[in-house]
Chain A
């Protein structure tokens, strides 16, 4: 070796592999306004589509008159359900096994429902056309409250289901009932409650909200009549699934459909499903023979595309007097809106809500979920959480606090007492999951030390006394949350979407000069896959991350994948990437052995090269090997250096975290101020700590928004209220608290690189932390539970009810 030989450290650093705070490569274009989103794509002779929407939440449509709209200069076509019927597309299947109107067929079931699609040569002409389409309505009684949906005399919402007593998930008990889903041992659980020394029983509502990505849902459909091929650009989180769905419902052969998701400006679950606008754009392009673009506006996005939550969870916990939990019993009323368009793996009508036993060692549990129809927009997607996991985490984490209050115990102490212990992993939960790994007590103790938990409680005691003496109008709350997530859907044995197993995939090609392209079945909507996927490959095969191009979103080039949502990209595709890289490394090792004239077993892989054991100066770098693979491969070996891997995960992964929130609430105005927020996340192996931190900051900001005011509200008539950013709470930098983060590392034992996924943890853990802080603030005044969202007026009302307003 001479002085020019780089040190191991330098070679390692050059790779920017796993563990490196590598800057996001995609930001080079994003920060310069050079991303390419759907709306940036313009094709010759392109038309614009715009939706006519229902003014009523529930009404029969006697007639739709499109004649005036058709006369608007520039309007090319107006499509209604009648048009769609000619191609058998007036209705479409949903991901949840239900069907959904594409355009109103005879009646409307929620406000702003799609009624007609105006296609014109300009956006302006389309909007003028929309104004002139006239619908003649006969109003029908409206159901907004899910608790009234199953009343005997409740109006029938879904006339198309008349007489159908079986739904996609079993028996329907009522004309507005969608499914009943039960898991756990009911009789053992009931028994535990009969014997319980202490019980809590509380209705915990998680209100309706919306993922609200900054880029709304949109697509551009271009049908080539000569070739019989359809190209569909769209804001898709799962482009391959969209291709298969389009093929199934349009009857176009799948190889003649090209689905492309270009840069996507946020998804958060909102862009998993298929919307009426997509179907209409495709049909309009087929009918007119011209490309048709459809871009929804903010109000359309908030009021009609997939909402999230709307779970009403009656939560009961049984425990011993000294605070050992003995049973959990939960009934959830799930408001799915007008159609069941929930985006869950097909066999899971209530998602993975059976993670509801959380981080605690419950000997028995029972969960029952009833899904109902109401006159609200359909959806029920996982807004930055794995399927219904944030709802489940909210119920158990609020429930534990309520139990602690009843026992007169500190909520952190109650959690420490009931945690699944490190030596219990892999752990079989009472509701059927096998938790892969965890070290909960270490994480919570670390978080408590970071914020001086004991000091905070002492301060709170003093402050409460001062409040009682009338010396302050501010109350202090400390919110503790310890969540366990379940992500990485999922194993083919229990996870599919429309029959497609939920694997994911990666294809890597090493070029002769030693750089590479990797194509992956996922689709980044902001998570930074172009950065992190390259880091995994860099560490696995020793090519610098900067020499690896990552491509996603084009179904013609990427291997089939199920997409990005439910924090599944790293657990599933991340594994496929590592496995594909390992196939390449295995072939590279054979080439190196041949070049160095040693047996393969005499080589070790060292950062970026194979070297002869004990003789480190005899080595071949991956660059050397790549050239040989294309130039003069060993005799008998196929040329080239490529690999594909499809990964079917053996289990889910179970990230966890300990969050602590400190809040001060002004009882005179109800204004809450978060003084401190500490988030400790354990997502197993950390690929890029900077991206993790960014994901945590973003998710916490969403959690803050959701818990403190973000809401899709309806009035009694089913009018959707405040579907704009004036009312829908999207916090700015001014409102957003300062985030402190920490971590522990408990690698997943079954994942090739031990990674668990992190994108959604902060939303899952953040919401209960905020809500627990609010509730903790009020608890000394005799309050047990205040429903979310905790916006100022509601907190003021809570204070008023407790008699402490001025």
Chain B
């Protein structure tokens, strides 16, 4: 459990960070909270020669509301998120998800940027971001660009980020009257999900006018359950409709078998979590 040797760099500006990453190429990695990267290094599953710590870059710690929604800097920690009154009011789903991530020590250091950029299907924020249709602000040697969360994840630890690119901020749309819920089944505090479901929906006189669903840790990537959500629009979330949506969501899962259970169990749990999240989101929708 001793990592290989590496150089530690601590740039003060984003452009320095990007330059450092460019100089050291493949062997360099950005370091955020370190709670995914450092355990991998300790097991020597990752052996970067250079760590570029993003902690001293003030631009990455922003948290504000803009016309297009909340803008949350990549280096905002889960703990900072949980303490933000703005997030509490404007994006309560993030609060619900952050509360379920790991444990207090890890939340004190783990960042939103690290969570979404990591590419581990076990991370909770990616499915939440897909559900909320968030956009990742990215900057790299070739300049700035924006990538939709729904288009970001390609495979386990494989994302749309190009070499040397950094996620700088996440933009989360704010939708009035939305009912949201995140249901996560886990073995214990600090565990990744057996299965989890994020739901955001709006109702008019009890009828679903919009619905989005994200699923965590039931496939090599987080999932945006587009078809399942579409089945619910226009319904009043009657038992039958929910059953159909659950079946559609389960159908796109492809869970791994591990200590959390065999694939069939985890697929079913994705469905159960979805049904429970739908029920709670329905109650909360204005």
Count of residues in A whose CB is under 8 Å from the partner chain: 32
| In the complex, residue of chain B having the shortest beta-carbon distance to the beta carbon of A728 | B259
Residue in A124, A722, A729, A796 whose beta carbon sits within 8 Å of that of B188 in the complex: A729
Residue in B187, B189, B265, B269 whose beta carbon sits within 8 Å of that of A709 in the complex: B187
Query: Which B residues lie within 8 Å of A299 (CB)?
Result: 1
Binding stretch for chain B, among A76-84, A617-625, A731-739: A731-739
Within 8 Å of chain A (Cβ to Cβ): is B83?
no
A650 → chain B, closest Cβ, in Å? Answer: 45
Question: Which residues 7-47 of B sit at the A interface, judged by CB distance below 8 A?
Answer: 44
Residue in B2, B103, B259, B266 whose beta carbon sits within 8 Å of that of A713 in the complex: B259
Question: Which residues 85-129 of B sit at the A interface, judged by CB distance below 8 A?
Answer: 103
Query: Which A residues lie within 8 Å of B266 (CB)?
Result: 793
Query: Which A residues lie within 8 Å of B260 (CB)?
Result: 793
B244-286 Cβ-contact flags toward A at 8 Å (1 or 0): 0000000000000011111001101100100000000000000
Residue in B4, B187, B258, B262 whose beta carbon sits within 8 Å of that of A729 in the complex: B187
> How far is B257's CA from A722's CA once the two chains are assembled, in angstroms?
12
A111-149 Cβ-contact flags toward B at 8 Å (1 or 0): 000000000000110111001000000000000000000
A322 → chain B, closest Cβ, in Å? Answer: 42
Query: Which A residues lie within 8 Å of B269 (CB)?
Result: 669
Query: Which B residues lie within 8 Å of A709 (CB)?
Result: 187
Query: Which B residues lie within 8 Å of A797 (CB)?
Result: 262, 265
Query: Which B residues lie within 8 Å of A722 (CB)?
Result: 258-259
A476 → chain B, closest Cβ, in Å? Answer: 20
Query: Which B residues lie within 8 Å of A670 (CB)?
Result: 265
Report if A732-B261 is in contact (Cβ < 8 Å); known contacts: A299-B1, A792-B194.
Answer: no
A52 → chain B, closest Cβ, in Å? Answer: 13
Q: Is the CB of B265 within 8 A of A796?
A: yes
Q: Is the CB of B261 within 8 A of A792?
A: yes
A505 → chain B, closest Cβ, in Å? Answer: 39
Query: Which B residues lie within 8 Å of A124 (CB)?
Result: 2, 5
Q: Is the CB of A732 within 8 A of B188?
A: yes
Residue in A297, A727, A805 whose beta carbon sits within 8 Å of that of B1 in the complex: A297
Q: Is the CB of A128 within 8 A of B4?
A: yes
Task: Name, among A127, A722, A793, the residue most crowded by chain B CB atoms within 10 Å (CB to CB).
Answer: A793
Q: Is the CB of B191 within 8 A of A726?
A: yes
Within 8 Å of chain A (Cβ to Cβ): is B190?
yes
Query: Which B residues lie within 8 Å of A792 (CB)?
Result: 185, 187, 194, 261
A713 → chain B, closest Cβ, in Å? Answer: 7
A675 → chain B, closest Cβ, in Å? Answer: 18
Within 8 Å of chain B (Cβ to Cβ): is A806?
yes
Query: Which A residues lie within 8 Å of B194 (CB)?
Result: 792-793
| In the complex, residue of chain B having the shortest beta-carbon distance to the beta carbon of A705 | B188
Within 8 Å of chain B (Cβ to Cβ): is A26?
no
Within 8 Å of chain B (Cβ to Cβ): is A671?
yes
Q: Is the CB of A721 within 8 A of B188?
A: no
> How far is B191's CA from A792's CA once the two chains are assembled, in angstroms?
14
Query: Which B residues lie within 8 Å of A39 (CB)?
Result: none
Within 8 Å of chain B (Cβ to Cβ): is A668?
yes
The interface residues of chain B, by DSSP majority, are classed as loop
Residue in B44, B185, B191 whose beta carbon sits within 8 Å of that of A669 in the complex: B185
B253 → chain A, closest Cβ, in Å? Answer: 15
> How far is B272's CA from A442's CA once the two chains are assembled, in angstroms?
46
| In the complex, residue of chain B having the shortest beta-carbon distance to the beta carbon of A295 | B1
| In the complex, residue of chain A having the shortest beta-carbon distance to the beta carbon of B246 | A806
| In the complex, residue of chain B having the shortest beta-carbon distance to the beta carbon of A668 | B272
Query: Which B residues lie within 8 Å of A735 (CB)?
Result: 188-189
| In the complex, residue of chain B having the shortest beta-carbon distance to the beta carbon of A122 | B2
A565 → chain B, closest Cβ, in Å? Answer: 28
Question: Which residues 186-210 of B sit at the A interface, judged by CB distance below 8 A?
Answer: 187-192, 194
Task: Name, among A126, A668, A669, the residue most crowded by chain B CB atoms within 10 Å (CB to CB).
Answer: A669
Count of residues in B whose CB is under 8 Å from the partner chain: 24
Within 8 Å of chain B (Cβ to Cβ): is A60?
no
B280 → chain A, closest Cβ, in Å? Answer: 15
Query: Which B residues lie within 8 Å of A671 (CB)?
Result: 185
B208 → chain A, closest Cβ, in Å? Answer: 22
Within 8 Å of chain B (Cβ to Cβ): is A298?
yes
Query: Which A residues lie within 8 Å of B188 (CB)?
Result: 729, 731-732, 734-735
A31-44 Cβ-contact flags toward B at 8 Å (1 or 0): 00000000000000
A479-509 Cβ-contact flags toward B at 8 Å (1 or 0): 0000000000000000000000000000000
A800 → chain B, closest Cβ, in Å? Answer: 9
Query: Which A residues lie within 8 Å of B272 (CB)?
Result: 668-669, 806
Within 8 Å of chain B (Cβ to Cβ): is A190?
no
Q: Is the CB of B259 within 8 A of A734?
A: no
A641-669 Cβ-contact flags toward B at 8 Å (1 or 0): 00000000000000000000000000011
| In the complex, residue of chain A having the shortest beta-carbon distance to the beta carbon of B188 | A735
A134 → chain B, closest Cβ, in Å? Answer: 15
| In the complex, residue of chain B having the shortest beta-carbon distance to the beta carbon of A666 | B272
Question: Which residues 144-173 of B sit at the A interface, judged by CB distance below 8 A?
Answer: none
A734-749 Cβ-contact flags toward B at 8 Å (1 or 0): 1100000000000000
Q: Is the CB of B185 within 8 A of A791?
A: no
| In the complex, residue of chain A having the shortest beta-carbon distance to the beta carbon of B195 | A669
B136 → chain A, closest Cβ, in Å? Answer: 27
Q: Is the CB of A298 within 8 A of B261?
A: no
Q: Is the CB of B191 within 8 A of A123?
A: no
Residue in A127, A297, A669, A734 whose beta carbon sits within 8 Å of that of B189 in the complex: A734
Query: Which A residues lie within 8 Å of B44 (CB)?
Result: 131
> How far is B5's CA from A729's CA once the two chains are assembled, in angstroms?
32
Query: Which A residues lie within 8 Å of B262 (CB)?
Result: 793, 797
> How far is B185's CA from A519's CA once the two chains are assembled, in angstroms?
51
Q: Is the CB of A793 within 8 A of B265?
A: yes
A792-806 Cβ-contact flags toward B at 8 Å (1 or 0): 110011000000011
A377 → chain B, closest Cβ, in Å? Answer: 18
> How far is B68's CA from A6's CA once the two chains are assembled, in angstroms?
79
Query: Which B residues lie within 8 Å of A729 (CB)?
Result: 187-188
Residue in B5, B103, B261 whose beta carbon sits within 8 Å of that of A793 in the complex: B261
Query: Which A residues lie within 8 Å of B2 (CB)?
Result: 50, 123-124, 126-127
> How far is B185's CA from A131's CA once the two chains are assembled, in angstroms?
37
Q: Is the CB of A727 within 8 A of B259?
A: yes
> How far is B266's CA from A792's CA once the two chains are assembled, in angstroms?
11
Query: Which B residues lie within 8 Å of A732 (CB)?
Result: 103, 188-190
| In the complex, residue of chain B having the shortest beta-carbon distance to the beta carbon of A726 | B191
Query: Which A residues lie within 8 Å of B4 (CB)?
Result: 127-128, 131
B184 → chain A, closest Cβ, in Å? Answer: 11
A311-340 Cβ-contact flags toward B at 8 Å (1 or 0): 000000000000000000000000000000
> How far is B192's CA from A727's CA once the two chains are assembled, in angstroms?
10
Query: Which B residues lie within 8 Å of A297 (CB)?
Result: 1
> How far is B45's CA from A264's CA once the two chains are assembled, in angstroms?
31
> How far is B236's CA from A261's CA once the two chains are assembled, in angstroms?
68
Task: Name, among A670, A671, A726, A729, the residue most crowded by chain B CB atoms within 10 Å (CB to CB).
Answer: A726
Query: Which A residues lie within 8 Å of B187 (CB)?
Result: 709, 729, 791-792
- 8 tightest CB-CB pairs across the interface, nearest first? A793-B261, A127-B2, A727-B259, A297-B1, A722-B259, A793-B265, A734-B189, A732-B189
* Extra contacts besides A669-B272, A722-B259, A791-B261 (18): CB < 8 Å: A123-B2, A126-B2, A127-B4, A709-B187, A721-B259, A726-B259, A727-B259, A729-B187, A729-B188, A731-B188, A735-B189, A792-B185, A792-B187, A792-B261, A793-B262, A793-B266, A796-B265, A797-B265
Can you offer 30 A-B residue contacts whose CB atoms are under 8 A? A126-B2, A128-B5, A298-B1, A668-B272, A669-B269, A671-B185, A709-B187, A713-B259, A721-B258, A721-B259, A722-B259, A726-B191, A726-B259, A727-B258, A729-B188, A732-B188, A732-B189, A732-B190, A734-B188, A734-B189, A735-B188, A735-B189, A791-B261, A792-B185, A792-B187, A793-B260, A793-B265, A796-B261, A797-B265, A806-B272
